[in-house]
Chain A
């Protein structure tokens, strides 16, 4: 340490202070205190905290609760009259709405408010359904036909010759919360990594903090890794908030046994999007421009990567294009390990792609990096 010991200090102040403490481990010390400074700056910035933690949760609440019961479960059917068929309609699959006359019910079917109506009078059962929704009408037809057969069979007093054993299977098409949570989590981690690194870079360049750091003996690597460390911790906090809220009965998220694999995956994802943010920050001169670029990068990627809704039904070319997005791979990986219960093997492709992005984008950002605007 080439520090001057107390050198005639005290001309200005009442009590001459003495040079007291010098820490020997400058590098580690600088790393810790830079991280601390950035954490403080981050958590004191209410807007940043809102957009990092609360804003994504709003999406979780909206999507998670909105689609909670929408598992293709019940069909609404209008009923007129009464009889064995109407009473035998399965309550867990059908929601009935009573009408006085068939004509009154048909008015609602025609206007599109009601998918189908069943009228039962004596031995005559009439089913009328809307022609527009083929899937629902097929469901209704099958359902009513099944009930009618069952009633007929019961009337014969014969035991059924063929037994149908039906039980549900956990399929890979997940219900809303299972699908939404890993996607929204990937998206929010990506967003805060991009915005965080881009805004820090631009604001530090504009406020000449970068120049000031360059004029201090701290290595650029220390500055970079401390900022990256902050991004990792923020990502993990986001994941914790998401999962803790998700598993409450209100949302009913069920984690797979391999959920912990999402931690290394999120770390790699943070790395990739941090690099993208550094690239955005190298282009942008102002914070506003950095935000705009970050939005331009992340938002379309989110929509095309299946963050908010599955892209299984998207055109093939779009699915192909989406493979070029790092968020798509982060998303898929998160789904696989968080809720589908797949093992380490499911991480190979996402991690390889994300690391590849980190290297390429990071190298480009390093090439374009400048300490100041001049």
Chain B
């Protein structure tokens, strides 16, 4: 490391307009060194444009970006070796195998071909080394794409919707890869429209909608700040509505004929009481999520 930077990214009042549309409308945040930072929101929220402005792919119409202490616009050759970028479309060379893609990208940074094997191992594609990019599955392509962004050991990694359009299993596999990258001490900035995923992965998240940041904090803090009740669900018939309503900590009880759900802001005595009664069959506890945060912030259901 050439020098220690505590804040990898500083963004101040960033703006970008496309005609009448303010795609990014006064966004400010900073990302600490080694942080896993998520930008989330529905499609069209301005996530990708924000990322492109930080990467130096677009010129801001207003505001300021500092990446690793430098201005990324115009194309800043000093920054490029220190940042790794995975773009939304998988940008691969035609008809090359996974290993050849990595070797080619490595060479752009003056790195020899031996790194390819290392990267394939990191993303679990060693057995696909000689498979052409177009013959890989969606999840494998995403992992290869991330590996291509990491060949030169960048300090900061930008991932634009790396888990979009993946099946649940492939998403989980990718999560492990992303955690491993953060484990190496790299700063990760990533966009997603999966709120559950951001909650599982990110140190802090910025929730965006219509080009603005609505909330920015650790996922758990955002959820806690919501003061939303925990939902405790049991099989229908495990308790009567009256019995459930009399339990300690129960605020509200609903029964839809399949499940009886008890809303509580104080789950500990409620769960203890249920355990005493031996009424834990089919129990599930759902605390508030980022989706509830989004609902509260925007007044509408979250739709990816």
A-chain residues with CB within 8 Å of residue B80 when the two chains form the complex? 215-217
Query: Within 8 Å of chain B (Cβ to Cβ): is A22?
Result: yes
B54 to chain A, nearest CB (A): 12
B-binding segment of A40-48, A62-70, A112-120, A134-142: A40-48
A-binding segment of B90-98, B194-202, B205-213, B222-230: B90-98
Query: Within 8 Å of chain B (Cβ to Cβ): is A168?
Result: no
A30 to B105, CA, bound (A): 9
Evaluate whether A21 and B100 lie within 8 angstroms (CB atoms) in the complex, with A208-B91, A211-B87 already known: no
Evaluate whether A1 and B107 lie within 8 angstroms (CB atoms) in the complex, with A12-B183, A207-B89, A215-B85 already known: no
A-binding segment of B115-123, B238-246, B247-255: B115-123
- Contact status A29-B57, CB under 8 Å: no
Query: Within 8 Å of chain A (Cβ to Cβ): is B169?
Result: no
A266 to chain B, nearest CB (A): 25
B-binding segment of A3-11, A76-84, A231-239, A288-296: A3-11
B278 to chain A, nearest CB (A): 43
A343 to chain B, nearest CB (A): 42
B-chain residues with CB within 8 Å of residue A3 when the two chains form the complex? 81, 109, 111, 152-153
Which A residues, 26 to 53, have Cβ-Cβ distances below 8 Å to chain B?
26, 29-30, 32-34, 36-38, 40-41, 44-45
The answer, among A32, A203, A209, for a CB contact under 8 Å with B107, is A32
The answer, among A11, A20, A32, for a CB contact under 8 Å with B180, is A11
Nearest residue in A to B101 (C-beta to C-beta)? A37
Evaluate whether A7 and B96 lie within 8 angstroms (CB atoms) in the complex, with A21-B112, A22-B112, A211-B57 already known: no
- Contact status A40-B96, CB under 8 Å: yes
A-chain residues with CB within 8 Å of residue B176 when the two chains form the complex? 12
- Contact status A8-B110, CB under 8 Å: no
A347 to B117, CA, bound (A): 50
Nearest residue in A to B56 (C-beta to C-beta)? A215
- Contact status B109-A216, CB under 8 Å: yes
The answer, among B121, B180, B183, for a CB contact under 8 Å with A17, is B121
A-chain residues with CB within 8 Å of residue B2 when the two chains form the complex? 2
Query: Within 8 Å of chain A (Cβ to Cβ): is B155?
Result: yes
Query: Within 8 Å of chain B (Cβ to Cβ): is A249?
Result: no
B-chain residues with CB within 8 Å of residue A32 when the two chains form the complex? 107
A212 to B144, CA, bound (A): 14
Query: Within 8 Å of chain B (Cβ to Cβ): is A19?
Result: yes
Nearest residue in A to B153 (C-beta to C-beta)? A4
The answer, among B109, B148, B183, for a CB contact under 8 Å with A26, is B109
Which B residues, 100 to 147, have Cβ-Cβ distances below 8 Å to chain A?
100, 103-105, 107-115, 117-118, 121-122, 132
- Contact status A37-B93, CB under 8 Å: yes
Evaluate whether A45 and B95 lie within 8 angstroms (CB atoms) in the complex, with A13-B121, A215-B57 already known: yes
A205 to chain B, nearest CB (A): 10
Query: Within 8 Å of chain B (Cβ to Cβ): is A352?
Result: no
A-chain residues with CB within 8 Å of residue B177 when the two chains form the complex? 12
- Contact status A7-B114, CB under 8 Å: no
B112 to chain A, nearest CB (A): 4
- Contact status A34-B104, CB under 8 Å: yes
- Contact status A213-B155, CB under 8 Å: no
Query: Within 8 Å of chain B (Cβ to Cβ): is A23?
Result: yes
Nearest residue in A to B97 (C-beta to C-beta)? A40
- Contact status B111-A33, CB under 8 Å: no
A-chain residues with CB within 8 Å of residue B184 when the two chains form the complex? 7-9, 11
- Contact status A30-B57, CB under 8 Å: no
A24 to chain B, nearest CB (A): 7
Query: Within 8 Å of chain B (Cβ to Cβ): is A93?
Result: no
The answer, among A29, A212, A217, A218, for a CB contact under 8 Å with B91, is A212
- Contact status B57-A4, CB under 8 Å: no
B-chain residues with CB within 8 Å of residue A33 when the two chains form the complex? 103-104, 107-108
Counting chain B CB atoms within 10 Å of each CB, the highest count among A22, A213, A371 belongs to: A22
A-chain residues with CB within 8 Å of residue B172 when the two chains form the complex? none
- Contact status A209-B93, CB under 8 Å: yes
A36 to B100, CA, bound (A): 10
A-chain residues with CB within 8 Å of residue B1 when the two chains form the complex? 4, 7
- Contact status B183-A22, CB under 8 Å: no
A-chain residues with CB within 8 Å of residue B181 when the two chains form the complex? 12
Other than A12-B180, A29-B107, A215-B57, give 13 A-B pairs with Cβ distance below 8 A.
Answer: A1-B110, A7-B186, A8-B184, A11-B180, A11-B184, A13-B122, A20-B114, A21-B115, A30-B110, A208-B88, A212-B85, A216-B105, A217-B77
Which 4 pairs show the lowest CB-CB distances between chains A and B? Answer: A12-B180, A26-B110, A11-B183, A33-B107
